[in-house]
Amino acid sequence: MNQQLIQRAAEDILRSKKTIAFTGAGISVESGIPDFRSAEGLWQKYDPEEYAHIHAFYSDPDKVWLMLKDMFTLVMTAKPNPAHIGLAELERMGLLSSVITQNVDGLHQAAGSRNVIEFHGSHRTLSCLKCSTTTDGTSLKIEDLPARCPRCSSLLKPDVVFFGEPIPPKAQAYSFKESKSCRAVLVIGTSAIVYPAASIPIMAKEEGATVIEINMESTPLTGQISDYLISGSAGKIIPAIVEEVRRQR
């Protein structure tokens, strides 16, 4: 792990008047939830066009629930890892204003982060597209899946943003406000290719923020938008940054 860049990130965070985090599936890989586009990613098993597009859900909800059941099974048993916990620690130290996440697994909140913006919704509630009943998803068990509407027994859709669906307006507005007003953004575990989410670090950069990328590999942000990339796993890098912040404080 690049100790020099860890030190630089700690300095940038301590100097920054307002720091935010922008996270993707990579931050939850060490919690046992595969990401989407790596070699073992979910989209290697399920073609997103066939399983994660809102039209797919309308035309064949049973088929989409095959993928959703896989996802729910992983999410239901996943625990926050040291990366999620490290971000919650930075927030507690008053050094992190918010976490904007593309993930729907709820692990940032489980780790103790309080200001979490779920850009792609969350699996915690499900909605009926027929009679618009909303159901709590947190009490669902594997055997309850695929989940059906308690009123009209149609297949429920988790309140996660499918391809072809709009971003929840409040989440989008608040995320854009945070990215335009921050002085530093930690971009963690995202391939940065899905928009409008991927515009968040770009907007921050345009407003003069320092963009600190943490990823196993380089992305389209690297060398263009990111000030630097700390290569490696978030579960090791984030705690190292928090420790360095404590040391320098």
37, 53, 69, 148: residue in contact with ligand APR (rule CB under 6 A): 37
From residue 194 to residue 213, what is the string marking binding to ligand APR with x (rule CB under 6 A)? x-------------------
CB 73 within 8 A of CB 98: no
- CA 167 to each of CA 116, 172, 176: distance values in angstroms, whole numbers, following the listed order: 15, 6, 12
Prior bond of 158 cis (ω within 30°): no
Q: State the catalytic residue, choosing from 53, 55, 84, 120.
A: 120
Chain residues 94-113 in contact with ligand APR, contact rule CB under 6 A: 102
CB 219 within 8 A of CB 191: yes
Backbone phi, psi, residue 179, to 5°? -70, -30
6, 31, 35, 213: residue in contact with ligand APR (rule CB under 6 A): 35
16, 24, 57, 229: residue in contact with ligand APR (rule CB under 6 A): 24
Among this protein's residues, is 120 annotated catalytic?
Answer: yes
| Tokens found for residue 36 | 């989407």
Q: Which residues share a beta bridge with 53?
A: 163
C-beta closer to ligand APR: residue 14 or 194: 194
The half-sphere exposure of 73 on its side-chain side, counting CA atoms within 13 A, is 11
- Least distance in angstroms from the C-beta of 214 to ligand APR: 6
Residue 159 in contact with ligand APR, rule: CB under 6 A: no
Which sequence positions are flagged as catalytic?
A: 120
Binding site residues, ligand APR, CB under 6 A:
24-26, 29-30, 35-38, 41, 48, 102, 120, 189-191, 194, 214-217, 219, 233-235
